[in-house]
A and B are shown apart, each in its own frame.
Chain A
Amino acid sequence: MKLFKAGAAAAVAVVLSLTATACGGGSGSAGDGGTAGGGKDKIVIGIKFDQPGLGLKTPDGKFTGFDVDVATYVAKELGYQPDQIEFKQAVSAERENLISNGDVKLVVATYTINDKRKAKVDFAGPYFLAHQDLLVRADDTSITKAEDLNKKNLCSVTGSTSAQNVKTKLAPDANLLEQGGYSECLTGLENKTVDALTTDNSILAGFAAQEKNKGKFKLVGLKLSDEPYGIGLKKGDKELQTKVNAALKKMVEDGSWQKAVDANLGPAGYKAEPAPQITEGS
């Protein structure tokens, strides 16, 4: 009986503490995303957490990458200091939901502008023009164009458009391996189980530029598609869109844009195209 009483007491304690945390977690993030949080104003921005060079959570709990730099710059122009920014993970499938639920104010997460997405959210930008490309091992010269992928092992992320693009149009005979994330694909590429990894060249460059991967991989340099990256925001928020566009324009003009590209994607020998013209919201 003693055991039962102790167990019951422990269970009650666990319930209480858990409901407390659950409630605490729930109420804080239900707000508008822009002004939530007591006292000091904060801006919540959705980024990727697992893409080196673009949006990466580092072991010290900070965030680095081109998208992060753009987000920080834009936030500054909107009147938020770096310590007022709260970064939230925006996995690809969740980006529209995060915006339309008001969980984040902006999404800066390798977010290609297209009509399907524009039905649900609005974009500012584009601030970067990426292309679908291939990443191969540095010593591999057998793949120079998309057709070379036929009969080769190709890796991409489950359900991605890049994979479907290759499969249906460019190299239908490629042996496609779909993985949960890019780092899994990279393991296969490093171990020679797959011959190429395909997605946006910016993402590929980010992985290739990593300290641990230097000299191991190279970009083939193809332009298999156009991927204009925009900053996602709530549909119909013209005021914010105009402000973000102005911030992006200023970022390009004062040279911060180029600096951010060089710092984050430069080490891979990847030459980014000049900043694209802003087309959204005009």
Chain B
Amino acid sequence: MSSVLYDTPGPKAKVRNWIYTGVFAVVVALALWWILDRMAQQNQLDADKWLPFVTDSQIWTTFLLPGLGETLKAGLIAMVIALPLGALLGIGRLSDHAWVRVPIGTVVEFFRAIPVLMLMIFSSALYVMLGTVSSDLRPLYAVVTGLVLYNASVIAEIVRAGILSLPRGQTDAAKAIGMRKGQMMFYVLVPQAVTAMLPALVSQLVVILKDTALGGAVLGFADLMSMNRQISANYSNTIATMVVIALIYIAVNFALTALASFLERRLRQSKKGTGAVVEGDVAEVDAGGAAGVGKAP
């Protein structure tokens, strides 16, 4: 209970805090009660809308788990393709040659400025035009393409921030022992930057997973999000299904976020490394402002 923002509460403040606690709890409880009451009025709390998720294991094996599988598949494929692509773009942006740096910078800034939903819709239409992808795989391809285009440019920024976050001494030392630029990048800077970037990359995976839901809602991708329709066609329980699907997303993403902050803490405390780290939080929003976030402890 100690913070620089307020004094340690004395007897009066303690009473006041208890009052605030009470008022706040009552307000939250009232809001909750109102929502539940309204839902009950609309028969949305009926047992037969919710029980299937507990009593019927098939609802999981036929709909929810395969849907989650598609979501994870799209997310991981996108990550795996975007990672090397983003690394190349990120390193390219640090190049000493303007003819490499400027075009790559333009590409990165371009794809970062465009909503990922638009990239997905565009990819989908592009695959229709090309006609080379079979129709049932096209949603997956479109989702992955959209995610890769966007996330490669975000990862490029994470990589750049990761390399810039390393202490200057690393570069100086590498130069001092006569390494060439390429050697310095690939033997000294990149390996260390990867560790510094890990938390940000895991956070980015959360962003990717969340974005796959767009494919389910707009492009007919058979992901977790889209299972809502199939489940509620069987049980007519749209609201209950939405809540369960939301809980699954939250559980998966929460686990990944926790992993990211665990990695971040470990890296900060680690005595072996440089202590440089690109925070997950910042990459989550947009790694663009991350150029300076890698801070030494």
Contacts and interface: CB of A to CB of B under 8 A. Distances in A.
A72 interface: no
A25 B140 CA distance: 11
A104 B137 CA distance: 13
B96 interface: no
Contacts of B175: none
B173 interface: no
Contacts of A58: 62, 234
Interface string B132-150: 0011111000000000000
B97 interface: no
Given A57-B62, A93-B220, A190-B43, A51 B233 contact: yes
Interface string A17-43: 010011001100110000000000000
Interface in A46-94: 49-52, 56-61, 88-89, 91, 93-94
A25 B230 CA distance: 22
A101 B233 contact: no
Interface in B25-53: 42-44, 48, 52
A103 B135 contact: yes
A180 B56 contact: no
Contacts of B42: 190-192
Interface stretch (B10-18, B178-186, B191-199, B250-258): B191-199
Nearest to B220: A91
Interface residues of B, number: 43
Contacts of B194: 4, 7
A15 B80 contact: yes
Contacts of A59: 52, 56, 58-59, 62-63, 234
A7 B136 contact: no
Interface of B: 42-44, 48, 52, 56, 58-59, 61-63, 73, 76-77, 80, 83, 128, 131, 134-138, 191, 194-195, 198, 217, 220, 222, 228-230, 232-239, 266, 272
The 3 closest A-B pairs by CB, nearest first: A59-B58, A183-B232, A50-B233
Given A18-B80, A187-B232, 18 more contacts: A3-B198, A4-B195, A7-B194, A7-B198, A29-B137, A57-B63, A59-B62, A59-B63, A61-B58, A89-B136, A98-B136, A101-B134, A183-B233, A186-B236, A190-B43, A192-B42, A212-B237, A213-B236
